[in-house]
Structure 1
Amino acid sequence: MIKVVIADDQDLIRGSLRIVLRSEKDIEVVGLAANGAEAIELCKLHEPDVVLMDIHMPELDGIEATRHIMKQHPAARVVMLTTFHDMDYVREALLAGAVGYLLKAMQPEDLAASIRLVNNGETLIPQDIARIMVAEWTSQGMAGKQKKEKEKKPRYGLTERETDVLRLLVSGKDNREIAADLYLSEGTVKNYISTIYSKLEVTDRLHAALKAKEENLLR
């Protein structure tokens, strides 16, 4: 069973999400929280696999609650669930450790599929948000190109080829596309990506891209 905690300050939202998930045989809602502080306590009690976390809540907001949960339960998969379509919130949530970001306007039937996806280790970002993020990173990369050129010393021990793979990964390309662009086999690309994850101390493509941006790794 996939254990889920739902954190939202609106009774109607919490109840509705619980009802939607009740019919799923492989998903169990183990707790409902009205604020971030309650979400932290429920995670201590139940050690859920997935947390559906609203951003704006009283006492402690979802982003700060996510930071606490990631420190105490790093295996938990936090998905931000909100009506806000704001890139600042997206960045803060992901940097806090969230692995997904969903708008409350999503179709109910997509909720269970999304929970299964993140529980299997995937990240979950709506396509339109992902496109905006990539565009921002590209724009910022061009603006900071002169500064980056001065940083000749390799960061995190990445080789030139690993940096090439990381650059294509950040652009949103999958393993097959990276392999085609660099004239490599998909198996070789997978090995490069595993090495990149290890050097950057991340576990997925999204957080590798975030680390690359934050640390100015793409020269």
Structure 2
Amino acid sequence: MEKIKLLLVDDQDLIRESLKIVLEMEEDFELVGVASNGQEAYDQAIKMRPDIILMDLNMPVMDGITATKLIKQSYSDVKIIILTTFQEVDYVKDALKNGAEAYLLKAIHPNDLASSIRLVNRGETLISQVLARQLLSSIPDEKAEETLNKKYGLSEREGDILKSIANGLSNKEISEKYYLTEGTVKNYVSRLYAKLDVTNRLDAINKIKGEK
């Protein structure tokens, strides 16, 4: 079994040690390094070439957003999960715009964290449901939904999936909700992105809100 190589970045010793215990319990994970600030994260990312980096935001020397941007510029294949206590929408936008694949809160259950890591490793973009709902302050009413669907040529199912994305559901959760395979959901999402002329979930959500 090929393991998912992880780099853990957090400036708090207790958090780092706790996460190490959680991550090392998973048979398909391999913790290849730990770092206490963004500069160390950058150095270790280039040296260790992890598959996924769990990145804190507020750290000394170099913050997580800056580290994410620099790492992505030098090593675009690595996937970065922001794991933080900050729930401000602006942080989410900055993180995703600078290349992060996911933005999760440290209050996440260990089992959900492990599942999220696997989803991101398979190419998913994830946002904590609490934050996704803040990004989309209100779901459009039926008339607004119909107008939106017509404007972008969305089918009824694509409109349903767009709403699910706005509510922070992963592809797996959408597949379970509508009794579809994950592959089918991925195809719907790809067509949806093409019609909206976006490339990720944040831009799709902003499209609904009329943000450019």
TM-score in terms of structure 1 length: 0.70
Out of 17, 30, 42, the residue aligned to residue 28 of structure 1 is: 30
**Offset at residue 192 of structure 1 (A):** 3.0
Query: What SS does the corresponding residue of 1:80 show, helix, strand or coil?
Result: strand
**Offset at residue 211 of structure 1 (A):** 7.4
Query: What SS does the corresponding residue of 2:127 show, helix, strand or coil?
Result: coil
Larger of the two Rg values belongs to structure: 1
**Offset at residue 164 of structure 1 (A):** 3.7
Structure 1 pair 59–187 and aligned structure 2 pair: CA distance change class (3 A): closer
**Offset at residue 129 of structure 1 (A):** 1.2
Task: Tell me the distance in 2 between the aligned counterparts of 1:137 and 1:68.
Answer: 35
- One-letter amino acid of the structure 1 residue matched with residue 10 of structure 2: D
**Offset at residue 90 of structure 1 (A):** 1.2
Query: What SS does the corresponding residue of 2:131 show, helix, strand or coil?
Result: helix
Q: Percent identity?
A: 39
Structure 1 pair 162–105 and aligned structure 2 pair: CA distance change class (3 A): same
**Offset at residue 213 of structure 1 (A):** 7.7
Alignment check: 8 A CA contact 2:136 2:206 kept:
no
Residues 167-194 of structure 1 show CA distances to partners (whole Å, capped at 9, x for unaligned) of 9465445889xxxxxxxx9898566336
Query: What SS does the corresponding residue of 1:135 show, helix, strand or coil?
Result: coil
Q: Which residue in the other structure is 1:115 paired with?
A: 117
**Offset at residue 135 of structure 1 (A):** 2.0
Q: Which residue in the other structure is 2:154 paired with?
A: 165
Task: Tell me the distance in 2 between the aligned counterparts of 1:102 and 1:45.
Answer: 25
Residues 98-132 of structure 1 show CA distances to partners (whole Å, capped at 9, x for unaligned) of 11111112222222111111111112212121111
Structure 1 pair 22–192 and aligned structure 2 pair: CA distance change class (3 A): closer
Alignment check: 8 A CA contact 2:135 2:205 kept:
no
Q: Which residue in the other structure is 2:204 paired with?
A: 209
Task: Tell me the distance in 1 between the aligned counterparts of 2:187 and 2:36.
Answer: 47
Between stretches 31-40 and 105-114, larger displacement belongs to 105-114
Alignment check: 8 A CA contact 1:50 1:79 kept:
yes
Alignment check: 8 A CA contact 1:134 1:170 kept:
no
Structure 1 pair 54–137 and aligned structure 2 pair: CA distance change class (3 A): farther
Q: Which residue in the other structure is 1:66 paired with?
A: 68
TM-score in terms of structure 2 length: 0.73
Unaligned runs of 5+ in 1: 143-159, 177-184
Q: Which residue in the other structure is 2:178 paired with?
A: none
Alignment check: 8 A CA contact 1:134 1:171 kept:
no
Task: Tell me the distance in 1 between the aligned counterparts of 2:40 and 2:186.
Answer: 44
Query: What SS does the corresponding residue of 2:136 show, helix, strand or coil?
Result: helix
Alignment check: 8 A CA contact 1:21 1:29 kept:
yes
Structure 1 pair 216–59 and aligned structure 2 pair: CA distance change class (3 A): same
Structure 1 pair 34–209 and aligned structure 2 pair: CA distance change class (3 A): same
Unaligned runs of 5+ in 2: 166-170, 176-183
Q: Which residue in the other structure is 1:49 paired with?
A: 51
RMSD: 3.4
Residues 21-70 of structure 1 show CA distances to partners (whole Å, capped at 9, x for unaligned) of 11211100111011000101111011111110000000110011111111
Question: Residues 142-181 of structure 1: matches in 2 within 5 Å?
Answer: 163-165=152-154, 168=159, 171-172=163-164
Task: Tell me the distance in 1 between the aligned counterparts of 2:185 and 2:112.
Answer: 30
